[in-house]
């Protein structure tokens, strides 16, 4: 939300009019600027300008007030407006104006305010900034106990939840807390994906001893998203031995995942057993009171005044993901600073819609899917794309095709091009073959479903 164009879009979207009226009278309007309490809008056709002025001025004023929190005056300009000639930055068209009109993001003062809003929107992941509620109380208490050296029996600590509920925040909080009192500690904090990639590179470059030294010399070992080890046998083996060395030396281990150990498919039983040696703590989606507390705390950290009814509305609508909540607050702060006004319900409604749209998964690259499938089936990405008809390669290729069709939205023809120009019928055959095997083989189905889930979590 960094320009008057964004504010104008919010206003347009809030209008309750027919599609025909929107197309005829609203779509031709171009936002020009917001200067203090004056809104300037450009309409090239003088007849349309006249109709809009006569019929929509008061409606626009009311909607802008809902969004901005203060009254505005509206000036409609067209090519017939008298004054010196200039070019509108938002439209690229010639407009006759009394002075050049800048967009908001070209104003150094506004730009500085927005940058400051972005900076203030980021804060350290500490226990002070983690909001505790019934949904996360056990996980937070366990992490605090570990950070204070009072939880020898919580080793390992295994935290699981859906994405966006605070697992990584807690890992960071533990690390930050311990380093305050023990800056000399060697705390290794790594995602499972990074661990796997570093291990593969160490084998390829004959650097396995260096890899082992890095991880097995840790005073504390924090691993995020361990479900990523699914299907990666050699990496699982390395994690197993790293775990054993550190655990036997009394070093603390904390693991996170999007599911409990027993629900991670295609992972060695001996590793799952070790995941369950200590304490398992789940984090559920936050209840209303916790969501409201998160919003209040975030607003305080941003020094933003927000009416209670706006905070309660946001807490009611954003239910499942703390990242969504925090993203909405950051956007609200930027809008509030931009307009120098107190947040309103209308602003909250539009920002929530924007945030929830942004949180939808972006299309996954074909390369990600093929790489992930290659790890699980122990064949190279080049073999999957090749004409090799080896049974294992063919199975991996069919699974890759099926997963790509499920998560990317590509057409069968487009998928075929990714696999050496295979035709439409070949892709249809591969996807149908995978579906049939999934119906008969539970383990195979679990592997494919895990692949789809893991790919979704990588986005």
**pLDDT tens for each residue of 154-207:** 899 999 998 888 898 999 999 999 998 899 999 999 999 889 999 999 998 999
- At what angle are helices 208-216 and 192-204 packed, to 10 degrees? 150
pLDDT tens digit sequence for 43-63: 988 888 888 998 899 999 988
DSSP 109-146: HHHHHHHHHHHHT-----STTPPP-TTTHHHHHHHHHH
Residue 144 has which token pair?
């605090």
Mean pLDDT within 365-372: 86
User: Confidence class of residue 251 from pLDDT cuts 50, 70 and 90?
Assistant: very high
SS3 257: strand
Q: Which one of 71-75, 147-151, 333-337 scores highest in mean pLDDT?
A: 71-75
User: What is the structure's pLDDT at 3?
Assistant: 63
Of 262 and 152, more confident: 262
Domains detected in the chain: 4-104 (3.30.300.180), 137-282 (3.40.50.300), 288-358 (1.10.8.60), 366-458 (1.10.1750.10)
Separation of alpha carbons 180 and 153, rounded Å: 23
| Contact status, residue 246 vs residue 216, Cβ threshold 8 Å | yes
Of 151 and 432, more confident: 432
pLDDT tens digit sequence for 52-96: 998 899 999 988 887 777 788 999 988 655 443 333 333 333 333
Can you say whether the dihedral through the CA atoms of 374, 380, 386, 392 is positive or negative?
negative
Asked if the model's pLDDT at residue 382 lies above 80, the reply is yes
Residue 427 has which token pair?
């892709």
pLDDT tens digit sequence for 110-142: 445 445 544 455 556 888 888 898 889 999 999
* Mean residue pLDDT across the chain: 82
User: What is the structure's pLDDT at 292?
Assistant: 93
User: What is the structure's pLDDT at 209?
Assistant: 92
Separation of alpha carbons 371 and 262, rounded Å: 25
Residue whose C-alpha is closest to residue 385's, from 416, 414, 431, 420 = 420
User: What is the structure's pLDDT at 109?
Assistant: 47
Asked if the model's pLDDT at residue 11 lies above 90, the reply is no
Mean pLDDT within 409-438: 84
- Residue listed under structure tokens 């992490």: 143
User: Confidence class of residue 263 from pLDDT cuts 50, 70 and 90?
Assistant: confident
Separation of alpha carbons 8 and 51, rounded Å: 19
Of 97 and 306, more confident: 306
pLDDT tens digit sequence for 429-444: 898 899 989 988 888 8
User: Confidence class of residue 358 from pLDDT cuts 50, 70 and 90?
Assistant: low
Percent of the chain having pLDDT more than 90? 31
pTM above 0.75, yes or no: no
What Cα–Cα distance (Å) separates residue 66 from each residue in 1, 54, 63, 156, 342?
Answer: 16, 21, 5, 51, 11
User: What is the structure's pLDDT at 116?
Assistant: 52
- Residue listed under structure tokens 């055959």: 429
Query: CA angle 156-225-376, nearest 5°?
Result: 115
């Amino acid at each position: 939300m960094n320009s008057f164009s964004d504010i104008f879009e919010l206003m347009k979207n809030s209008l309750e009019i027919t599609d025909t009226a929107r197309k005829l009278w609203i779509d031709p309007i171009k936002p020009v600027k917001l200067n203090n309490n004056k809104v300037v809008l450009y309409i090239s056709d003088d007849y349309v300008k006249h109709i809009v002025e006569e019929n929509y001025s008061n409606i626009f004023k009311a909607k802008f007030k809902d969004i901005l929190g203060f009254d505005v005056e509206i000036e409609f300009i067209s090519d017939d407006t008298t004054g010196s000639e200039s070019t509108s930055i938002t439209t690229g068209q010639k407009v006759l104006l009394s002075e050049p009109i800048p967009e908001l993001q070209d104003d150094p003062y506004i730009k500085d305010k927005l940058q400051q809003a972005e900076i203030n929107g980021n804060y350290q992941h500490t226990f002070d900034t983690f909001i505790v509620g019934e949904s996360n109380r056990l996980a937070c208490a366990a992490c605090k106990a570990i950070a204070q050296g009072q939880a020898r029996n919580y080793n390992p600590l295994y935290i699981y939840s859906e994405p966006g509920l605070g697992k990584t925040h807690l890992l960071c909080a533990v690390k930050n807390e311990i380093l305050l009192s023990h800056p000399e500690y060697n705390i290794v904090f790594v995602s499972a994906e990074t661990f796997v990639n570093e291990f593969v590179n160490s084998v390829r470059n004959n650097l396995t001893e260096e890899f082992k030294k890095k991880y097995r010399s840790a005073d504390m070992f924090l691993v995020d998203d361990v479900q990523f080890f699914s299907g990666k046998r050699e990496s699982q083996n390395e994690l197993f031995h790293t775990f054993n060395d550190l655990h036997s030396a009394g070093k603390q281990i904390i693991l996170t995942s999007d599911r409990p150990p027993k629900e991670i498919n295609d992972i060695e039983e001996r590793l799952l057993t070790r995941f369950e040696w200590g304490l398992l703590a789940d984090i559920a989606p936050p209840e209303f009171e916790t969501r409201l507390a998160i919003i209040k705390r975030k607003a305080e950290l941003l020094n933003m005044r927000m009416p209670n009814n706006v905070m309660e509305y946001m807490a009611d609508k954003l239910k499942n993901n703390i990242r969504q909540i925090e993203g909405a607050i950051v956007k609200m702060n930027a809008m509030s600073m931009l307009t120098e006004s107190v947040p309103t319900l209308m602003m909250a409604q539009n920002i929530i819609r924007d945030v929830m749209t942004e949180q939808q998964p972006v299309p996954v690259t074909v390369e990600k899917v093929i790489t992930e499938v290659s790890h699980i089936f122990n064949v190279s990405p080049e073999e999957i794309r090749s004409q090799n008809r080896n049974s294992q390669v063919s199975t991996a290729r069919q699974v890759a095709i099926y997963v790509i069709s499920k998560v990317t939205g590509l057409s069968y023809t487009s998928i075929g091009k990714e696999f050496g120009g295979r035709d439409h019928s070949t892709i249809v055959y591969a996807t149908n073959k995978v579906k049939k095997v999934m119906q008969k083989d539970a383990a195979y189905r679990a592997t494919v479903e895990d692949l789809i889930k893991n790919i979704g979590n990588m986005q």
